[in-house]
Amino acid sequence: MAYTFDNPIRKLIHNPNQILGGYIKKGMLVADIGCGMGYFSLAMAKLVGNKVKVYAIDLQQKMLDTLKKRSKKQKLSERISLHKCPQNKLGLNLKFDFILAFWMVHEVPDQDKLLKEIYSMLNADGKLLISEPLFHVSKKAFNVTCQKAHQIGFEIIDQPKIFFSHAVVLKKIGN
């Protein structure tokens, strides 16, 4: 189904530069969790600049292989590091400035564990953008995710309007 999410028409609905441009700056270290074929990862690579600054994380090797081909074709492969994560863990010991979780948190059985791991992966002022599909995740379920994030130590700093989505930008507070 990932192929349906990655087509030219999608840019009219989910323009990566409009969604991410206000949060990602040159030189940042960023991650795209559940990157799929790299729809957002490729755009993130353009936003961060010339070195490996984007970690594309996915469970499926097939998605990462497709992203690898696409990044080479767009001459962005040196900016993207591919990471196949194990089933119930992201498994990176890095500190990121920004992490994107687009339409994937609802698929994780243990959201508390995921959010705690993301929290530990962010630097002191790091931000997390969570977007969930309106047609699949209720407002109530999305609010529960936001409450869990708050209990872990995140605060809401923005609620961007993203088509067909519930969305929130969270900032890490504390250490």
Region 3-31: what's the mean pLDDT? Answer: 83
Residue 3 has pLDDT above 80, yes or no: no
Task: Give every CB contact of residue 60 below 8 A, 6+ residues apart in sequence.
Answer: 84
**Mean pLDDT, range 141-158, rounded to an integer:** 98
Q: Write down the pTM of the prediction.
A: 0.94
Put the strands of the sheet holding 80-84 in their side by side order: 80-84, 54-58, 30-33, 96-102, 122-133, 165-172, 154-158
What distance in Å separates the CA atoms of residue 140 and residue 159, rounded to the nearest whole number? Answer: 15
Reported as a pLDDT band with limits 50, 70 and 90, residue 7 is low
